[in-house]
Amino acid sequence: MTPQNGGIINGAKTKLAVNIGGIAMKNPVATASGTFGFGSEYAPYIDLNLLGALVVKGITLQPRAGNPTPRLVETTAGVLNSIGLQNPGVERFVGELLPGLAGYDLPVIVNIAGDTIQDYGQLAARLDRAPGVAGLEVNISCPNVKKGGMQFGSDPDMAAEVTRVVKAGTGKPVIVKLSPNVTSIVAIAEQVARAGADALSMINTLLGLAIDLKTRRPVLGNGLGGLSGPAVKPVAVRAVWQVYREVKLPIIGMGGIITAADAIEFILAGATAVALGTANFVNPRATMDVLAGIKRYMIENEVQDINELVGAAHR
């Protein structure tokens, strides 16, 4: 297999390379932030070099301990979580974790989250000088933190302001990760695009709640959580579909992708790349299985270039 053409299977050539706002990916399959740690956790199970991109756990300026437990509860065909952005902070990330990824041939995208707009600017500037960072994914959609997080992602003007500040702090491609917990995701996407974003990630988790019948209290230590997994997929495909029609930015589609069929659905709706999140918990090799399934679909349907499929459902 050569990285650029994605390989030759049964004599058919399939071109899998995509570009996300300036980030060249050898194939469209990435990992979703927060579900894949810093990559090394999954290295025993898959060859990380075969991923289209690695999106690491959300990083903040200062270390964060995270939310009280329980942090996770399974719901019907889904998972509700409230981790609370537990992370070692940007300095330890750059000093201790990032170097471990240097040996891999794949774009590393760093998810950043702040309490304030200034936090985002500082994170962008700090990571701009860090070697081995292909781009930033701006988390304005975390439902599990008290300050910042989703509130930046639910107000179009604030979303735009965060985008501008990050763009001013870095020359690297900036991907803005959108929240589905808004009245109009298109309105947010339009503002973020106008503010200079290079690409969009969508969707983050859906705000949810599970209540324990015995204790009559929320199950999660933090109360509310973010819903992911197959249960949210139609919502995510819809969001990608709507935004693709109105905003001319490449989209990394995510939300409940388990199989190649799920991934192709996102691509047909308008996603240029896809990210797998909860699927990694079920099957540590899910990204590789999805990649193989996409190739198979392309060969069976005589699709030479994955880019031909992007947004095809609109045509």
Partner 1 sequence: MLITDAVVINQEEIIPGFFRMTMSAGEVAKNARPGQFLHVRCADALDPLLRRPVSIHAVDREKGEVALFYRVAGRGTALLAAREKGDRINILGPLGRGFTRPESSGKVSVAAGGIGIAPLYFLLQELSLINTYANVFLGAATKKQLFFSSEIEALGHSVFPATDDGTAGYHGTVVELFTQNLSDTVYGCGPAGMLKSLCRILEQYKIRGEVSLEERMGCGVGACLSCACKTVSAGENYRYSRVCVEGPVFPAGEVVWA
24 given a catalytic annotation: no
Residue pair 259/7 in contact (Cβ under 8 Å)? The answer is no
List the one residue from 14, 35, 191, 201 that touches partner 1 (CB under 8 A): 35
d(CA 31, CA 47): 13
Burial class (CB in 10 A: 0-12, 13-18, 19+), 243: buried
List the one residue from 23, 25, 28, 42 that touches partner 1 (CB under 8 A): 42
Closest separation in Å from C-beta 127 to partner 1: 21
* Catalytic pick among 30, 142, 165, 279: 142
Closest separation in Å from C-beta 83 to partner 1: 5
C-beta atoms surrounding 292 within 10 Å:
14
First to last CA, the chain: 32
d(CA 238, CA 118): 32
Interface with partner 1 includes 11 (CB under 8 A)? Answer: no
Half-sphere exposure of 150 (CA within 13 A, CB side): 19
Segment contacting partner 1 by CB under 8 A, of 34-42, 124-132, 138-146, 153-161: 34-42
Closest separation in Å from C-beta 62 to partner 1: 14
Segment contacting partner 1 by CB under 8 A, of 68-76, 108-116, 127-135, 138-146: 68-76
Interface with partner 1 includes 44 (CB under 8 A)? Answer: yes
Interface with partner 1 includes 70 (CB under 8 A)? Answer: yes
Interface with partner 1 includes 258 (CB under 8 A)? Answer: yes
List the one residue from 3, 37, 196, 293 that touches partner 1 (CB under 8 A): 37
Sketch the per residue contact string, 224 through 243, with partner 1: x for CB under 8 A, - otherwise: -----xx-------------
d(CA 288, CA 309): 20
d(CA 148, CA 117): 8
Burial class (CB in 10 A: 0-12, 13-18, 19+), 10: exposed
Burial class (CB in 10 A: 0-12, 13-18, 19+), 314: exposed
Residue pair 125/69 in contact (Cβ under 8 Å)? The answer is no
List the one residue from 3, 66, 132, 196 that touches partner 1 (CB under 8 A): 66
Residue 14 or residue 141: which is nearer to partner 1 going by CB?
141
Residue 5 or residue 86: which is nearer to partner 1 going by CB?
86
d(CA 123, CA 11): 46
Closest separation in Å from C-beta 40 to partner 1: 9
Q: What separation in angstroms does the CA of 41 have from each of 23, 100, 180?
A: 24, 12, 28
List the one residue from 47, 74, 91, 246 that touches partner 1 (CB under 8 A): 74
Residue 158 or residue 281: which is nearer to partner 1 going by CB?
281
The type of residue at 50 is L
The conformation of residue 49, written as its DSSP 8-state character, comes to G
Closest separation in Å from C-beta 144 to partner 1: 11
Residue 45 or residue 130: which is nearer to partner 1 going by CB?
45
Sketch the per residue contact string, 278 through 297, with partner 1: x for CB under 8 A, - otherwise: x-xxxxxx------------
**Which spans of this chain sit near partner 1 (rule: CB under 8 A)?**
34-37, 41-42, 44-45, 57, 65-66, 69-74, 76-79, 81, 83, 86, 229-230, 258, 278, 280-285
Residues noted as catalytic: 142
